[in-house]
Structure formats: structure tokens, C-alpha cells
Amino acid sequence: MEREQALKIVREQMHEKRYIHTIGVMETAIKLARQYGVDEQKAELAAIFHDYAKCRPIHEMEEIIKRENMPSDLLAHNKELWHAPVGAYLVKKEVGITDPEILQAIAYHTSGHEQMTMLDKVIWVADYIEPGRKFPGVEEVRELARQDLNLALLQALKNTISFLMSKNQRIYPLTFHTYNAFIKEETIG
């Protein structure tokens, strides 16, 4: 699918602010893909569609998680996590994207997972460092991303988990599993 067509589809799914974020993630993901030897077209499409379900009503996402037998522990954790797996499902069903690598990058763009592909990592990090992001520590992650994608992802995960803990939020187990997998990768490697 061409970029313009994909952007037209997502634009109808979200508010202006979310669309601007999407453009930022797209541009950042393409740069990271080029730098790290990842398929740029896949990175572009995964980035464009990563927040496809972000603006769907909560009850619709809940219904899809139950009906499609997605991990039920999602329902016991922050609703902010739901748009990632639900997004992958809807992008396949409504947009017709079937590439499993793209769908996986969308499904895990919030939690990550233990065996992330380079494409998964590019989307995760691009989502965190796109130019519109302002959170504390983002500049450090931008700098790390210029040198080492794994270190950038690990730092961003640490920031996210620390931030959520400071707000007394529950941490989704898969987010911790992702963190552990990267700590292992870095300390052994």
C-alpha cells in the first residue's frame, strides 16, 4: 500500500494531535529502519498504522479482546495497553494488511515482548522518540538510538516503567518480561 493511501485511512481514525504523532513516528521509523538495515516500507506501514485503534471506544476494544480470545490479562491492566493488539486485529480486518511482521510490530508497540524483531524495535523506539515527544529523558534515548537500538529500547523501557511506578500504576507483566529480556541481552552480550 502506498503512503498517501495509508495516511488517508488513518487520518479518518484519529484526532489531529494523534495524526501529527503518527507522522512523527513514520518519519522516525523510516530513518531508524535505514540506519539499522530494516525494510523501510514495512517500517513505514507499521508506523502509520501503529495507533490505528487508539481512538476507538473502550467498550469496543474490550469486546474485541474477549471475542478474539486475546490475552485476558490485558483486561486487568491499563486500558492504554489495549489499542496495540486491537489495532493489529483491526488493521488486518478493516484495512486488509496481512503481513505478519507488520501486524506483530503494531500488536506489541506498547508492551514489547521477549523476542522482538528489528522491525518491532524500530517501531517501539520511533514511537518513544518521535519529534513531538517531550518527556524527561527522551533526549538521552534519541542519542542512544543513534548508536545502539537495543540500548535505546532498554532505556526507554526503564523510563516508562519508572514513570508508571511513580504514578502508582500497575505494570503489565509483558512489559516487565520485555525489560528482563533486554537486561539479559545487554549483560550477557
**Interface residue list for Fe ion (CB under 5 A):** 51, 127
Angle between helices 149-166 and 173-188 (to 10 degrees): 140
> Among 49, 51, 121, 123, which residue sits at the site for ligand DGI (rule: CB under 6 A)?
51
Of 98, 146, 131, 163, the C-alpha closest to 22 is 131
Applying CB under 6 A, which part among 63-71, 85-93, 105-113, 145-153 lies near ligand DGI?
105-113
Distance CA 76, CA 150 (A): 29
Site string for ligand DGI, 8-47 (x = CB under 6 A): -------------x--------------------------
Site string for ligand DGI, 141-170 (x = CB under 6 A): -------------------x---x----xx
Distance of CA 3 to CAs 9, 27, 89, Å?
10, 11, 20
Grid cell at residue 93: 480486518
User: Which residue has cell 481512538?
Assistant: 55
Which is nearer to ligand DGI, 172 or 182 (by Cβ)?
Answer: 172
Of 97, 82, 15, 81, the C-alpha closest to 49 is 97
Q: Shortest distance, CB of residue 180 to Fe ion, whole angstroms?
A: 22
Residue ranges that bind ligand DGI, judged by CB under 6 A: 21, 51, 54, 77-78, 80-81, 84, 109-111, 127, 160, 164, 169-172, 175
